[in-house]
Structure 1
Amino acid sequence: MQRQVGKVALIEPTEALKGPYLAFYEEWRASGESFIPWVIEMDPSDFAGMVQTLRENRDGVKIKEGWVASSTYWLVTEDSRVVGAVNIRHSLTERLLHTGGHIGYGVLPSERRQGYAGEMLKQALLKAKELGIGKALVVCDADNTASERTIRSNGGLEDSEYTEEDGNVIRRFWMETGSGSRPEAAK
């Protein structure tokens, strides 16, 4: 049974959250799970440099070839714990249209099943609207039923699936940003 989520907010990466973020990062690393979204796999040993890189990604500065500008936010609780992260791509490449989508998010393994993912996605859709994204593509692996439930409960309208070269099936969903309602039609 999910418990009621307390007050949480999406906060842009800041040096003020170094301690809570490092605790988040170390706990995730110790879990042995893949880092999701990709930005949390960044080495935080030069914390100020990592925060600067995330700002540059947001501003479209020094972006790797083939990549797009993206905004990262940390999900922070009332008691200043970092329990999740979200990365919002400002546009889609052909690859992102199939396998990455606009929004990638992850909740610390020890903090799952508490409603954080749903709240984080809800807030991320508002941030996407602020970035000028009208309909956001959100994807998950076909075997990730928890993520699929989170996406559907936030209004995700399923589009076609995509099968990667290794056979992994990606489920793709379009979502209205900022309104919490279902999109009229997928692109």
Structure 2
Amino acid sequence: MQAIRLVEPDRSWKNAYLSFYEEWKKSQEQMVPWVISREPYNFEGMLTFLNDQKIGIGLSDGWVKSSTYWLMDADDQVVGVVNIRHDLNEHLLNAGGHIGYGIRPSARGNRYAVAMLALALGKAKDLGISRALVVCDSDNISSKRTILRNGGIPDKDYIEEDGNRVNRFWIEL
């Protein structure tokens, strides 16, 4: 895989991010991680929101600080987004984990997720996280493989109120 890297959201990547967002919206799939569901048409406002999330300004009750990065390919296209929660609350410990990530539909199957999670684990370590919790729905076989390829050690599953089974994995950093 050539020259992929995580970058902090920045106005210089506006067109690349809008392309990523619009492709995902068109797919009508659930937007993962949660931060990509924020409409980016007020791009400066979205960048401010993401920065505020990183430093803890204006967090909703029960939310924790989080850092968002975009995975850029060799052609400077946004192929994925990862959101790293700095701490865990009860909900995140059960069903959210430290790291949420998603790859744009047209870029899946190219092992971008494996590489992005590996890079995100380095960022998590830089944040002082020594043991990262990464989760996925039990029917998401691709995500489960991605987590296992990055050293995930299975922990007890969590069953959500709607019956959905969440597989939980710890990764030592």
Map 1:142-153; keep pairs closer than 5 Å: 142-153=138-149
Contact kept in structure 2, 1:90 and 1:102, CA below 8 Å: yes
Aligned pair 1:14/2:10, yes or no?
yes
Match of 1:169 among 162, 165, 171: 165
Which aligned segments of 4 or more residues in structure 1 are displaced greater than 3 angstroms?
none
Deviation string, structure 1 residues 98-145 (Cα, Å, up to 9, x no partner) = 000000000001100101000000000000000000000000000001
Write the distance in 2 (CA, Å) between the matches of 1:132 and 1:87.
15
1:80 maps onto 2:102 in alignment: no
Measured in 1, the distance between the counterparts of 2:72 and 2:172 equals: 24
Q: What is the DSSP-based 3-state SS (H/G/I as helix, E as strand, rest coil) of the residue aligned with 2:147?
A: helix
1:52 aligns with 2:48: yes
Contact conserved, 1:125 with 1:176, CA < 8 A, in 2?
Answer: no
Counterparts of 2:163 and 2:60, CA distance in 1: 27
Matched, 1:34 2:30: yes
For residue 7 of structure 1, report the CA deviation from its aligned partner. Answer: 1.4
Match status 1:155 vs 2:151: yes
Q: Which amino acid aligns with 1:67?
A: W
Letter in 2 for 1:176: E
Q: Name the SS of the counterpart of 2:69 in structure 1.
A: strand
Matched with 2:101 is 105
TM-score, normalization by structure 1: 0.91
AA in 1 matched with 2:88 = L
Unpaired segments of 5 or more residues in structure 2? none
Match runs of 1:81-96 below 5 Å? 81-96=77-92
Cα RMSD of the aligned pairs, angstroms, is 0.6
SS at match of 2:156: coil
Instruction: Tell me the secondary structure at the aligned position of residue 44 of structure 1.
Output: coil
Partner Cα separation in structure 1 for residue 162 and residue 10 of structure 2: 37
TM-score, structure 2 normalization: 0.99
How far is the alpha carbon of 1:62 from its aligned partner?
1.1
User: Taking every aligned residue pair, what percent have the same amino acid on both sides?
Assistant: 54
Which residues of structure 1 form unaligned runs of 5+?
178-187
